[in-house]
Structures are given as structure tokens and as C-alpha cells.
Structure 1
């Protein structure tokens, strides 16, 4: 009976430990958990990555809001020094814990920060003489083509350890998980461009539907297939009349009147008819 109770206690303790480890990131610097931003990491949550630095000297294990498998409880980023493909003894350092997390987001990027790592030994000493704790910054950059989580390959960008405070390890991961949805119409399109596209589409539909109707139903041929052909023929004259009516402000001239010349304005020579010379004397 005692063995059964002991087994049950161990089992319950194991479940509690697993539940604690699977609780995810704890954002101690936020009044409330930034759930809207954290949702972008749902696809990546629980996955871990292993990557070497550019010099091949250090190996890093990175886990997203879950502890690294096989490591201590709550470890988010782990550093190990490598030599000839093997881990150098006593060179394993905890870079950051998921229990001290922070998150920052932008338009096409998101940064996950793990703090409370092991203290430096000789680098990054505070002005008080105390060593700074290690910290990891994981930069997620939008890449629509990187949809396969298992194929993601982090990049070790830099280790900033020459400051008095805020020393950190910077990692970069290109992934589609942090890409925000784009609107159907590009943001760079102006309202005028959109209206022009709509107008062209409506005109093309009007012309195509009218031609098909007149060709099939009315058996029209040639230019007579164009819808409202009589209106379009007179369209130029109608525009000219409208422009003349609206734009010309001066009073229209009436028709010229031709008045006869009075007799008093004619001279004696002009008054005589040229037929007078033909009369018999």
C-alpha cells in the first residue's frame, strides 16, 4: 500500500512539473498578457531549434515559449561551447528563461525576449562591479515563403557583451507566422486609380454585353453592333452645344438685319435710273 501511495505521489509530482513546464512564457513586465501578439507565435510554440554560430564555436538551443527538451525547467535558450563536434565540459550556460519573457511587435516583425539568464563572468560588468545577467532576443521577421516550421533555421546575429547593461544574444528567424494579412488592394493604390479601374471594367462590360445583344438578338452587323450607336455619333455635337451653353457668357448676336437706303441718302446721279438712257427722245 505504501508503494502505491509513493507511486501516486511521484506520478502527481511529475504531472505538476510537466504542467508547470508547459505553461508557456510568463510576461513579467506586462500588466496583462499581450494575448493578441502572443497568438502570432501559436504556430511556433513548442518547437525547438539548434543552431551553430558563424565561427562554429558555440551551439545554441532555442525553444519558443516552452522549455528546451532535456534541459532544466523553464530554459528558453541554452549555450554550449563545442570542440571537435563535442560539448566542452562546464561550458553550458543558460541564456534566458521562459519565466521572464517580454514581447515586442511591429508591422512585419516580432521580438521575443528571454531574461534572467546566468550571470557573465568577465564580460558586461555593471558600473557597480556586479556582472550582468545573460539575455536572449529572438527576432522573428516576416517571410511569406517560410511556412514549414520544421524547416526554419535560426541565425545567430550577434552577442552584445561590451556594455555595462542590456547585454544580449541576438537571434533571427524568418517565418510566415508573424506576417500580417494584406488587404486585397495594395495600400499604394490611390482612390483615383481604384475608380479608374472600376470605370474601365464597367465600360468593357457595357460594350461587350451590348455587342452580343445586338449581334445575336437584333442580327446587327458592322458598326450597328455598337450599343447606342446613334447617341455616340451625336456625342461630339452634344458636348459642343453644352460647352457653348455653359462656357460662353456673352450675349448671343441676333441675325443681321439689312435696312434699305433712304432716298434722301442718294445723290442725284444715283437717283436716276440707268434705264433712262434707253427711252426715246
Structure 2
């Protein structure tokens, strides 16, 4: 029994992987451009889901839609019309004939190759156009918009699917410096709040003494002020060097008085 479980479990895993790959690769693009391939990749979260909506104005049928899957079990049919009584399925579009046009927050998915019209649209094949749009408040809301079949060619069915799958997630733009500052200010706020409560409730401090480590921070402030005073202010009368005055700094001594008595006639 244990051996059977060991053999069967990997088989289930392998089959699940194959199924997941088919979900994304079933849609065959008519034009295999990279932009259309990228558009289909964005729709992968919508695979394996069936969306159903009633026809407009009380029409006696409903529409069933799948992204790259068999709608209502019909092979290759991405969107079908189901008549309630009798139970008849009409192929509207095939996912093996797909186009995908991508916009900023929408994708227009087009299924071509449906059942040919009988009496109008020149008997051309039916075509389904599903506008899949971003709506952050919607949970995959699917509804029919119109069937444009009042012309000779180019007829189509138009549907809309509102989903949050295509809404772009805004990445965080915080830099490393911003995160560092947030952490520093958060720690500072926690320190001030916790220290204030401790000083007030446990120590019983009042006034400015409630500030945590008040003595330490006041000493830091006084030392900073002293340093600024020492660097930025002059102390006393600074004497200019003699080279700028042009005279010696020592006081001059008294010169002996010159007498001219000897010049008088005797």
C-alpha cells in the first residue's frame, strides 16, 4: 500500500504541472507577437474559472466565458451562448484563434472562428470581444454589453470583465536612507515616551526632571555651548603683532636731556 502511494503521488504532481502549463498555452494567437504573448501571461490568474452572464433584456439564453479554456465543456470554444430550453450551445469564439491587445490597465481579448451567422452579417463567423479592465473593487464581474449584428460584415459580441488582476501593484519607493530615518525616529519616540512615563510614574519626577536622563542631556548641552563659545567668540583684547603696527611693543626709555649751555659766550 505504501509503495502504491509513493508511485501515485508523483504522477498527480506531474499531471498538475502539465495542466498548469496547458492553462497558459491553450490560447493560440493568430499573430504571435511578443506584446500579445505578454498580455496573455497577465491573464493567467483568470484561467480555470468559468464566467456566466444572462442575456440582455430578458433574452432566453446566457453566455459562458473562459480564459484559454473550454467554455461549457465545448472543445476549443472560449465563449459560448447557451439556450435554456432546449439546452443548445452556440460557439461564439474559439481560444485557438485569439488576439490580445494590451492597454495601460486593460486587455481586449478577441476570440474568432465562431459559428457562422445564418441570415445576417453575410454569413460570416461569429466573433467575441471581451474587454478585461482593472477595477480594484470588483471580484471578476462579467456582463454582456451588446451584440453588433446589424451590418453586412464585421459583426461581433462585446463583453466586459472587471477584475483586480490587471491593477498594477505600486511598489514601495522608500530608499535605504528613508528607512533608516524612520527607524531612528521611531526609536527616539519610544525612548522619550517610555522614559517620560518611567520618570513620572516610577521615580515621581516633576517638571523638566521628567525628561529621561535629564542630567546627562543638560550636561551635553552645556558642553556644546562652551565649545561653541570657545570656537566662535574672541576672549580678551588680542594684541596685533608688531609687524602690523610698525612699532616695537616695549615702551621707549627716557632719552638724556641735551643741554646747550656750552654754546653761550662766556
Query: In which range does the TM-score fall when normalised by the shorter chain?
Result: 0.5 to 0.7
1:227 matched to 2:212: yes
TM-score where L is the length of structure 1: 0.52
Instruction: Give the conservation status (yes or no) of the 8 Å contact 2:120–2:152.
Output: no
In structure 1, the residue matched to 2:50 is: 48
Greater helix percent: which structure? 2
In the aligned structure 2, how far is the partner of 1:164 from the partner of 1:233?
92
Change (3 A) 1:93 1:182: same
- Deviation for aligned residue 1:65: 0.6
Distance in 2 separating the partners of 1:180 and 1:24: 25
Taking the aligned partners of 1:108 and 1:88, their CA distance within structure 2 comes to: 37
2:127 to 125, 135, 138: 135
User: Which 5+ residue runs of structure 2 have no aligned equivalent?
Assistant: 1-18, 233-266
Determine the structure 2 residue equivalent to 1:274: none
For 2:142, the equivalent position in structure 1 comes to 154
Whether the 8 Å contact between 2:46 and 2:67 is mirrored in structure 1 is yes
Matching of residues 30-109 of structure 1 within 5 Å: 30-32=32-34, 34=36, 36-57=38-59, 58-71=61-74, 73-80=75-82, 82=83, 85-87=84-86, 93-109=90-106
Distance across 1 between alignment mates of 2:58 and 2:77: 22
Unaligned runs of 5+ in 1: 1-18, 124-129, 247-281
Partners of 1:39 and 1:31 lie apart in 2 by 13
TM-score by length of 2: 0.55
SS in 2 for 1:134: coil
Shift in alpha-carbon separation, 1:96–1:234, aligned structure 2, 3 A: same
Secondary structure of the equivalent of 2:46? Answer: coil
Partner of 1:268: none
Q: Equivalents in 2 of 1:162, 1:201: separation in Å?
A: 66
RMSD: 5.0
What is the alpha-carbon distance in structure 2 between the residues aligned to residue 207 and residue 86 of structure 1? Answer: 75
Bigger Cα displacement from structure 2, 102-111 vs 194-203 = 194-203
Displacement of 1:60: 1.8
List per-residue Cα deviations over 1:70-95 (Å, max 9, x = no partner).
43x31211235x5xx41498xx6432
Deviation of 1:168 after TM superposition, in Å, equals: 2.4
Tell me: CA distance 1:66–1:88, structure 2 relative to 1, closer, same or farther (3 Å). closer
Number of aligned residue pairs = 213
The separation in 2 between residues aligned to 1:164 and 1:232, in whole angstroms, is: 90
What is the CA–CA distance in structure 1 between the aligned matches of 2:183 and 2:129, rounded to whole Å?
47
Query: 1:144-192: CA deviations, max 9, x gaps?
Result: 5666xxxx55211122345676542221223344344343x5x8x9xxx
